[in-house]
Structure 1
Amino acid sequence: MANDMLKLIGVIAGATTLFAFKKKRDYTEVIEKMTIDLHSVSNLRYKGGILFMNVSISFHNNTNIDFDIYTVGMISLRKIRLFYKGNLIGEAESNLTEFSLPAKSNVVVQNIETKLLLLNIIDQFLNNGIDGNLENYQLQIEVEALGKTYTIDQELAY
């Protein structure tokens, strides 16, 4: 009886390990193939000497794999950076750890408070100009997943 119990525990442990490796591989594929774009910008404001705005970002799962994260911190959206012609002009920090992105779908994360780096914007404006052409802007998303940091770079052109 004890041997049967040990065998059963071994089979369960092996199956759990295989399932975890498959999930990690699947989630890695989704993260690597995910695309993002700027959905909207709102609520531009000046508070405590800092310029802020809210951004909403669309995430697109281009795979056939459902991406559901309820991880208590094991997978999280860490940073969002906004660039103009390669120069950092804004950033936001996040600890989003619950996220559902079904296969072949889009999800919008709304109202992410973003700090604009006013000195960087002024420097860019004075030296090279700045415009509203989305092709000149890039978004960078930093996701920490299963002990590894993934950086997703995306042009903002529609």
Structure 2
Amino acid sequence: MNLKAVLSLGALAATGFFVFGKDKFSEYSNVLENLKMDIKGIRNISFNREISFKVDVQISNPTNISIDIPGNQLVIKNLHFYTLSGKKLGTAFPNIADINLPANNYRLITNIPVSLSMAEIGNNIAEILDIIGDKDKLKIAADIEAFGKSFTINA
């Protein structure tokens, strides 16, 4: 085979990989935009200069497309916590990678450490105590980075 034929085949193969990769990225983008999050548990609550606790978060994939991305191509960067009234309480930085979410299924991520600053909480201590008694009163949003693009999931 001559050099021109090898280069032509290489270009064709690269184009195929690009198109396949682009389609896969588009498919994953659609799935990421449809993910749902739910707080399943709050425990180990302590009060010092901040409120610290561990949280379990369930991420649900309601689509018929599985996500199985090894390594750091998909990372849950931040979890933002809010009161029901919309006041931001704080952010956790779990940096969870190596995500596997089966189609029409979920993944439970446990023991995510959270520290909320008393300064950020401000006068909402009554609301915090109410949230501790009922996890459904805590709202969550997640920042996810996938293939260099950022997504926000609001629960």
Please state how far the C-alpha of 1:146 moved relative to its aligned partner: 2.2
Aligned 8 A contact 2:77 2:94 in 1? yes
Q: How does 1:74-153 map to 2 (within 5 A)?
A: 74-84=73-83, 85-125=85-125, 131-132=130-131, 133=134, 136-153=137-154
Query: By how many angstroms is 1:106 displaced?
Result: 0.6
- Equivalent pairs counted in the alignment come to 151
Which residues in structure 2 correspond to 1:36-51 (within 5 Å)? Answer: 36-46=37-47, 49-51=49-51
Gaps of 5+ in 2: none
Asked if the contact 2:42/2:135 (under 8 Å) is kept, the reply is no
Give me the identity figure in percent: 24
Cα deviation, residue 7, structure 1? 2.5
RMSD of equivalent CA atoms: 2.1
Amino acid at match of 1:115: S
Q: CA deviation at 1:12?
A: 1.3
Give 1:46 shift: 4.2
**Distance across 1 between alignment mates of 2:50 and 2:111:** 17
Q: Using the alignment, how far apart are the partners of 1:88 and 1:129 within structure 2?
A: 11
The residue that corresponds to 1:55 in the other structure is: 55
Partner Cα separation in structure 1 for residue 136 and residue 57 of structure 2: 16
Give the Cα–Cα distance (whole angstroms) in 1 for the partners of residues 39 and 106 of structure 2. Answer: 12
What amino acid is aligned across from residue 80 of structure 2 in structure 1? R
Q: What per-residue deviation string (whole Å, max 9, x for no partner) do you get for residues 79-119 of structure 1?
A: 00110021112320022221100111110011100112223
**Structure 1, unaligned runs of 5 or more:** none
Question: What TM-score comes out, normalization by structure 1 length?
Answer: 0.84
